[in-house]
């Protein structure tokens, strides 16, 4: 009979849990989603305020431009994954007033803040919005359901980025549009100043405004761990999406990647 130690050494490599990154920390893959969930549960009520403070309001311009650049019909059926507090979906409805936008996020708190904002804003037609709790890696929607899939500042928080894009492809109708707005790799000439601001100022701002240093430290680190523009474009192509393009915003602080099913 095999001793316990031999059985363990034979099975060990098979049962060992894969690891991934959570910012600059190595964590077990099955722990990351929960760590990310706790980050956004903690900051949900201060999320919009912090975005304005950290980016000096520039995130609004990036999001405006993102939505303005989408080539969609007025009555498009859209899915905004990792939609959080609704910044993308509300803009989409302003630009495409006959669209319907499903806002999907893994975090109920972020959606709760978003839904309340929609109710409080008379310019948002809430009948054209649905809020659905769901994981971008395993979307609760049928194949070929949407004309457009958007994800803004969300994908780098997911454990398996390739699986998120595969799910996007699955739920898009043939010819449907994939559009991702995400932090990316800044032009090297600006990196030193950008890094100093990111690592030394943003977590402190997080502590002062949201009483949460670590979540904003994670935010900055997660940006550095995300693939650069070309690597992400290759990843998107590898899922079978076609016509992959990207455009840098603010010298590559972030980038818009688009593709078609």
By CB under 6 A, the residues from 111 to 150 that bind ligand SAM are 135-137
Q: Which residue among 67, 70, 72, 82 contacts ligand SAM (CB under 6 A)? A: 82
User: Token pair for residue 119?
Assistant: 């109710």
| Residue 87 assigned ligand-binding role | no
Which of residues 160 and 173 has its CB atom nearest to ligand SAM in the complex?
160
Phi and psi at residue 86, in whole multiples of 5°?
90, 5
Residues 34-63 that bind ligand SAM (CB under 6 A): 36, 40
Between 9 and 69, CB nearer to ligand SAM: 69
8 A C-beta contact, residue 194 and residue 186: yes
Which window, 2-10, 152-160, 207-215, 222-230, contacts ligand SAM (CB under 6 A)?
152-160
CA distances from 39 to 16, 161, 204, 220, 232 (A): 26, 18, 16, 13, 24
Which DSSP symbol is given to 204?
H
Residue nearest to ligand SAM (CB): 84
Give yes or no for a contact between 138 and 69, defined as CB atoms under 8 angstroms apart. no
Distance of CA 121 to the CA centre of its chain: 24
135 is in an annotated binding site: yes
Q: How far is the CB of 4 from ligand SAM (least distance, A)?
A: 37
Cβ-based nearer residue to ligand SAM, 157 or 198: 157
Element of type H or E holding 249 = strand 242-249
**Per rule CB under 6 A, is residue 184 in the interface with ligand SAM?**
no
Residue placing its CB nearer to ligand SAM in the complex, 14 or 205: 205
Q: Containing H/E element for 100? A: strand 100-105
**Does the annotation place 152 within a ligand binding site?**
yes
| Residue 105 annotated as binding site | yes
Per the annotation, does 85 bind a ligand? Answer: yes
Q: How far apart are CA 76 and CA 83, in angstroms?
A: 17
């Amino acid at each position: 009979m095999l001793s316990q130690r031999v059985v363990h050494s034979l099975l060990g490599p098979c049962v060992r849990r894969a690891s991934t990154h959570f910012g600059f920390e190595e964590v077990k893959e099955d722990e990351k989603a929960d760590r990310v969930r706790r980050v956004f549960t903690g900051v949900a009520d201060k999320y919009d305020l912090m975005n304005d403070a950290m980016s000096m309001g520039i995130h609004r311009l990036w999001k405006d431009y993102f939505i303005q650049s989408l080539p969609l019909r007025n009555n498009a059926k859209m899915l905004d994954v990792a939609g959080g507090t609704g910044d993308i979906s509300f803009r989409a409805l302003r630009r495409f007033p006959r669209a319907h936008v499903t806002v999907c996020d893994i975090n109920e708190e972020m959606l709760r803040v978003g839904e309340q904002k929609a109710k409080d804003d008379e310019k948002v037609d809430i009948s054209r919005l649905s809020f659905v709790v769901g994981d971008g890696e395993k979307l609760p929607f049928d194949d070929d359901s949407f004309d457009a899939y958007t994800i803004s500042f969300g994908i780098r928080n997911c454990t398996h980025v390739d699986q998120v894009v595969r799910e996007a492809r699955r739920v898009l109708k043939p010819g449907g549009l994939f559009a991702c707005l995400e932090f990316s790799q800044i032009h090297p000439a600006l990196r030193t100043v950008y890094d100093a601001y990111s690592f030394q100022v943003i977590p402190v701002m997080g502590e002062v405004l949201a009483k949460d240093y670590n979540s904003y430290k994670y935010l900055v680190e997660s940006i550095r761990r995300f693939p650069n523009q070309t690597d992400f474009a290759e990843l998107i192509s590898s899922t079978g999406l076609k016509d992959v393009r990207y455009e840098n915003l603010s010298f590559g602080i972030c980038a818009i990647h688009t593709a078609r099913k």
